[in-house]
Structure 1
Amino acid sequence: MQIVDIQKPYDYTRTIQDIQTLLTYYPYGSLEWIGCSVLGKPIPHILIGNGERKVHINASFHANEWITTNVLLKFVEDYLAALHYDQALNGQEARALFNQITLSAVPIVNPDGVDLVLKGPAVSEPYASFLSKIGRDFPDFQSWKANIRGVDLNNQFPAYWEIEKKRKEPKAPHYRDFPGYESLSEPEAQAMVKLVERHDFDCVIALHTQGEEFYWGYMNEEPKEAEEIASYFERVSGYKAVKTIDSHAGFKDWFILEKKKLGFTLELGKGINPLPLSQISRIYNPTKAILVAAMEYLSI
């Protein structure tokens, strides 16, 4: 039985429906809500496994990178199906991973933004006027990265946030790159911080697009094993491992700086965001390889 259809975009409603269907059909995980978006949409969090080591994966921090939700939901389905039929997941015994790793997944961090890109500006005031003003240059909202208030959620975290505030060109809410008037001003970013503080993850992986590379360091605060794991990810996926770039205030940056643990930002695929669904197979396989490799490595 196939529940997740990665050939169709996942807006918020469809995401929640398929999560609930997956966890009903494959009763190996649980669903909770970690907070709400600006427009009041509860943000879903899936937990699978009984292990002491914890791996967290998230998708759709950026609205026009909604294809990452498709990828993460497909990975969750593949994992649950492997558990149900007692099969391997990319060569790893799914039951062994389940017993050794707790997998955490937030498939849609920015539900308001994703719905804006996929369905248009069907919102009430005060957001309707704001979107109308910004949308004069972007009538179909396909380039929109921010949340519904025009704040880039992956520029919201207290990891040298002041640098981003100073140098980012938008100084007010915009369709992309505005880091907010202060760090953690947005409920979606606050929810992610609370999730981390509650679960004490050993590793976080944020799915973004595009570039076919991933970032694994930050300010030399990453743990010593990060380079070794990055080399492993590079081998299994074909993606290029990049230690760091000139960027601050991201979720992965904050996690490494705050927790001194493993953090990765994966840039899936190549092209112009939003990437077309015609790339989904090319995107999914290397991503799946990295996600399983992370669970495998931490289960040793």
Structure 2
Amino acid sequence: MDGYDYGYDHERLCGELNRLGKIYPLLRIETIGESVMGKSIPLVCIGAGTKHIHFNASMHANEWITTPLLMQFVEDLTCSYARGTAWQGSNIRRLLSEYTLWVVPMVNPDGVDLVLHGATEEYSHRETLLAWNKGSMDFSQWKANIRGVDLNDQFPAHWEEEAKRRGESYPGRRDYGGEAPLTEPEAIALAQFTESICFELVVALHTQGREIYWNYRDYEPPESEWMAERLALASGYQAVKLTESDAGYKDWFIQQFRRPGFTVEVGFGVNPLPVQTFAALYEEIVPILLTAMEV
């Protein structure tokens, strides 16, 4: 993962999108909204098919490595499409004539920048951030957005039960779902974007565990289980039927639309996963994402 030793922050993401947009005019690059601090939440779209699929990454700040993983996938997919070459046995031009892929590579830009750069002087509530982080200047374990709200506990899917289970009453680095569902601009933007397009399925990239979660309170359609098994078979990950977990993006999507939704826990270890594992992680997720586009 050359050049990523200091992380992959929002500025780096915007620079990469600008570069890719110049190389590949077929990419459509937009935004779905802004973060608390006014940073763009970019959207990348490729394909011309009538079936729509969505992938997202960096919902949790200290899982930022999912952003360059997803961006590398977008670049390799686009390169294969432009050249008319197959990729890992997949005919990419045929695939993208049937499907349109919508990617949000960094849901939580403020949180990612906080993890990578710390609470710098630009933060007007710097002292509050430090207090929420238990007085530590080390923000590497921060999962939440800049207001201390865990974005993957923000969705209206039995939100009250998840809040009670978490037991977090105040903002902090993780597990506080806010005062109500969809109070944070990042979660609102992602929900509104999801509602605006009829997706066949969605995949949210997280770390870590090498697991694929595919169900939600029996709201999922029957095909979700065998789809998850196909993703697991392609990657060596384990398809897991999860219980006692609510208010996540995948949960809300399944409940709201009754269509397949997956959370993929990339890699194994302690978050944030070391950048030295990037190549191995990428080998793991490419077959998952390509298979998700073909099921």
Q: Shared topology, TM-score over 0.5?
A: yes
1:187 aligns with 2:185: yes
**Cα–Cα, structure 1 residues 123 and 93, in superposed 2: closer, same or farther, change >3 Å?**
farther
Alpha-carbon distance between aligned partners in 1 of 2:123 and 2:207, rounded to the nearest angstrom = 31
Range with greater deviation from structure 2 (120-129 or 213-222): 120-129
Aligned equivalent of 1:249: 247
Structure 2 residue matching 1:171: 3-state secondary structure: coil
Q: Give the match for residue 21 of structure 1.
A: 19
Residue from 245, 254, 269 that aligns with 1:271 = 269
TM-score of the aligned structures, taking structure 2 as reference length: 0.96
Counterparts of 2:193 and 2:132, CA distance in 1: 32
Q: Which residue of 2 aligns with 1:103?
A: 101
1:18-64 CA distance string (max 9 Å, x none): 01111210122101111100000011001100111111000000000
Supply the distance in 2 between the matched residues of 1:277 and 1:40 (Cα, whole angstroms): 27
Pair 104,123 (structure 1): closer, same or farther in 2 beyond 3 Å = farther
Q: Partners in 1 of 2:118 and 2:126 — Cα distance?
A: 11
2:290 equivalent in structure 1: 292
Question: Structure 1 stretch 122-131 or stretch 189-198: which is displaced more?
Answer: 122-131
Q: How far has the Cα of 1:8 moved from its partner?
A: 5.7
2:119 aligns with 121
Kindly indicate whether the alpha-carbon contact (under 8 Å) linking 2:67 and 2:105 is maintained by their aligned counterparts in 1: yes
Percent identity over the alignment is 46
Q: Is the 8 A contact 1:6 1:74 kept in 2?
A: no
Instruction: Give the partner amino acid of 2:234.
Output: V
Q: Secondary structure at the match of 2:239?
A: strand
Deviates more, 1:118-127 or 1:51-60: 118-127
Quote the offset at 1:228 in angstroms: 1.3
214, 217, 230: which is aligned to 2:215? 217
Q: 1:82 aligns to what SS in structure 2?
A: helix
What's the counterpart of residue 155 of structure 2? 157
Length-normalised TM-score, structure 1: 0.95
2:44 corresponds in structure 1 to: 46
Tell me, in whole angstroms, the C-alpha distance in 1 between the residues paired with 2:34 and 2:208.
Answer: 27
Using the alignment, how far apart are the partners of 1:63 and 1:288 within structure 2?
Answer: 22
> Compared with structure 1, are the counterparts of its residues 27 and 8 closer, same or farther at alpha carbon in structure 2 (3 Å cutoff)?
farther
Q: Distance in 1 between matches of 2:82 and 2:224?
A: 32
State which drifts further: 118-127 or 92-101: 118-127
- Aligned-residue CA RMSD (Å): 1.5
Answer whether contact 1:7 1:280 (CA < 8 A) is retained: no
Q: 1:135 to 1:7 in 2, by over 3 A?
A: closer
Distance 1:75 1:7 in 2: 19
SS at match of 2:172: coil
Equivalent residues in 2 for 1:51-200 (5 A)? 51-122=49-120, 124=122, 126-200=124-198
Q: Following TM superposition, by how much is the alpha carbon of 1:159 offset from its aligned partner in structure 2, in angstroms?
A: 0.3
The 2-side partners of 1:50 and 1:79 are apart by 14
1:260 matches 2:262: no
Q: What secondary structure does 1:202 align onto?
A: strand
What are structure 2's unaligned runs of at least 5 residues? Answer: none
Contact 1:6 1:280 in 2 (8 A): no
Summarize deviations over 1:230-289 as a string: whole Å, max 9, x none. 111111100000122321000000000000001000000111100001111221112110
CA contact (8 A) 2:130 2:136 kept: no
Distance 1:290 1:104 in 2: 16
Q: Distance in 2 between matches of 1:26 and 1:187?
A: 30
1:13 Cα offset (Å): 0.4
Paired letter, 1:245: T
Code of the residue aligned with 1:52 in structure 2: it is T
Aligned counterparts of 2:131 and 2:70: Cα–Cα separation in 1: 33
In 2, distance between residues paired with 1:6 and 1:93? Answer: 30
SS state at 2:199 partner = coil
Number of aligned pairs?
295
User: Whole-Å Cα distance in 2 between the matches of residues 215 and 150 of structure 1?
Assistant: 25
Whether contact under 8 Å (1:214, 1:264) holds in the other structure is yes
Could you give the per-residue CA deviations for residues 140-186 of structure 1, whole angstroms, max 9, x where no partner exists?
10000000000000000000000111121321101100000000000
Tell me the CA shift for residue 294 of structure 1.
1.1
